[in-house]
Structure 1
Amino acid sequence: MSKNLEHQFSMLVREIRKEYVGNGPKEISTRFVGSWAISEMKGNLTNVEKFMISSAKGKQMVHETRTKLVKQIYKRPEVVDKFEKLLDAKVERLFSDINIDEDIAMTVFVFDRNLENKQK
């Protein structure tokens, strides 16, 4: 699959995060491997979240909230539809996590077919 399509996918992830979370990641890169679209995002936390993670309880709250929120966002039909239209493939499942200390999030989208070598 072309690097351009990976870039378009990354920009779509950023746009959706910005719309539903309030800010998008400062850096994002996506790679297609088989049926997986793997997005790595750096610089995700808001200023409020950065303040909150100064305590262990705050760190746990931010991690749980971020993880649950992201999974809920990607269950929205209008969000899923954008990814499926871009790649002409169906989203089957999603895995997401964030490392609060490093402010790095990873989301793995699993599609119904191989994304590599697809031309668009």
Structure 2
Amino acid sequence: MTKNLEHKFSMLIREIRKEYIGNGPREITTRITGPWVICEMKGNLTNVEKFMISSKEGELMVHEARTELVKNIYKDPELVKRIEEMMNAKIVSIFTDINIEIDTAMTVFVFDESIMDKE
């Protein structure tokens, strides 16, 4: 059952990223462990962003813009509601970062109770 929920969550995150950023990650791996849902996303950068990161200034700009954009996405109450309904738990906090060099982003969703106990 966990694998199915992880897959559904990955699909929701891909949909959200496409809707808000314009393109979704090439690959998403989601793992549920207790109250944490951890998403690893590879292949996030657009062609323009890939061009921009050829300089140190561009790399810093893309990193900051991506990180802030993702943080702002999860401030949307309707979006939070969709995620919470899927997981049947309330989000306590969200941690996100991207490693520009390897084009991999990580987002950790922390819920108010164990997701695994709900299966």
Category of TM-score, reference length = shorter chain: over 0.9
Deviations along 1:76-113, whole A, 9 cap, x unmatched?
A: 10110110010110011000000000000000000010
CA distance in 2, matches of 1:85, 1:34: 17
Q: Give the aligned partner of residue 60 of structure 2.
A: 60
Q: Give the aligned partner of residue 91 of structure 2.
A: 91
TM-score, scaled to structure 2: 0.97
Say what the alpha-carbon RMSD is for the aligned residues.
Answer: 0.8
User: Quick one: which amino acid aligns to residue 111 of structure 1?
Assistant: F
CA distance in 2, matches of 1:46, 1:80: 25
| Number of residue equivalences | 119
Consecutive unaligned residues in structure 1, runs of 5 or more = none
* Cα contact 1:2–1:117 (8 A) shared by 2: no
Consecutive unaligned residues in structure 2, runs of 5 or more = none
User: Quick one: which amino acid aligns to residue 50 of structure 2?
Assistant: K
Runs of 4+, deviation exceeding 4 Å: none
Matches within 5 A, 1:1-120: 2-119=2-119
CA distance in 1, matches of 2:38, 2:9: 10
Percent pairwise identity: 66
TM-score, scaled to structure 1: 0.96
CA distance in 2, matches of 1:52, 1:73: 22
Give the C-alpha shift of residue 118 in structure 1.
Answer: 2.5
